[in-house]
Structure 1
Amino acid sequence: MSKRSSAKYKLDRRMGENIWGRPKSPVNKREYGPGQHGQRRKGKVSDFGIQLKAKQKLKGYYGDVTEKQFKKAYTEASRMKGDTGQNLIGLLERRLDAVVYRAKFAPTIFSARQLVSHGHVRVNGVKCNIASRLVKVGDIVELGAKAAEMALVIEAQGLSEREVPDYLAQDGTTKVSYQRVPALDEVPYPVKMEPNLVVEFYSR
């Protein structure tokens, strides 16, 4: 399990966007960056800076995955047929913690990863505690009996700020089937993600 090195909302403020679309995000009140220099006027950002920000935003959205894991996903995406940016999004959306988050089994991507790592999630009936595992089309992802009664899960299912996307088929409140790998425009990001800039960043 990758360790989160900083508060999740600090990433929102650094990016200047509410990247998870949560009502508690401090960006809703303060759009400037964190720290004593957060309100300074920003100079012109270079192409590299724009690409880096796009990478940090996408990497952060998926629970601040490690650089090693993220680079590995990019490398795999670049080997696949078709558009590398779309392939990268497809791979990230196939991560088990991302599927758990999309299914509204957890209120945040971080708590989704915790649910998986604590053994509360089953894939095709088999317990799996590897958050980075890639789910395949047709796989059934469900919560264990204990997890279904957890306050965290009940809170997540009551959230009005996001819905379960079409590429997951719900079977009750604790089970989903992975229908297809989504395209970029099907993924319900609250903010604009630019995987093409991430591809440019790594292909320099």
Structure 2
Amino acid sequence: MISILIIDDHPLVGDGISTMLNSESYLTILGICKTAKDAIEFLTTALPDIILLDINLPDMNGLALCELIRKNNNSTKIIGLTSTNEAGIIIQFLSKGANGYLLKNMERDELLLAIREVMNDKIFLSKAANQKLLEQYNTVNQAIKSVPILTRREKEVLNLLHEGLNGPQIAEKLFISHFTVETHRKNLMQKMNANTTQLLLKNAKIFNLI
């Protein structure tokens, strides 16, 4: 028996998937959580085999929740369930520890296939998501490896650059020297293959980092 937790704030989606899967004798729905808070509490007392996770939740970004779940639980399979088919978000989701990515308009057979594949320790992408990734990368693994790994301070500098602050303003905001800010900016540009701040921010948006 494969146990499943659905995390989605839209009742029609959660109930629809539950109804769709309940007809399969080898699947059982442990619950439906509508917020990240509810899901975190639920996971303190239950360990589902699979989590179907919406990327847009009212109280926390699904990417952040995926990363949080994965830090505390390395065995449960996580499948992103969303209407967003953007390469940057797909890559981010997989890099946070997800095992698959499905669009909400998927067919029942595709969902069942995804469940079987991730339970066999494979990465599963919907046909549309896979096509989107392969428009830019040769393989899924190459796409995942392309995600820049940023330090906490680099993330702070990047967000402030996105807000329109300049070097001296960022230095004052973070209580660091202007030289340190410029060092972080140069590191960010190198990691995201950019030679201007404008291109840096453009690439950061592609990777869903801002």
Q: For CA contacts below 8 A with separation 6 or more, give which structure has more relative contact order.
A: 1
Q: TM-score range by the shorter chain?
A: under 0.3
Greater helix proportion: 2
TM-score (norm 1): 0.26
Larger Rg over CA atoms: 2
More strand by share: 2
Question: Could you state the TM-score of these two structures normalised by the residue count of structure 2?
Answer: 0.25
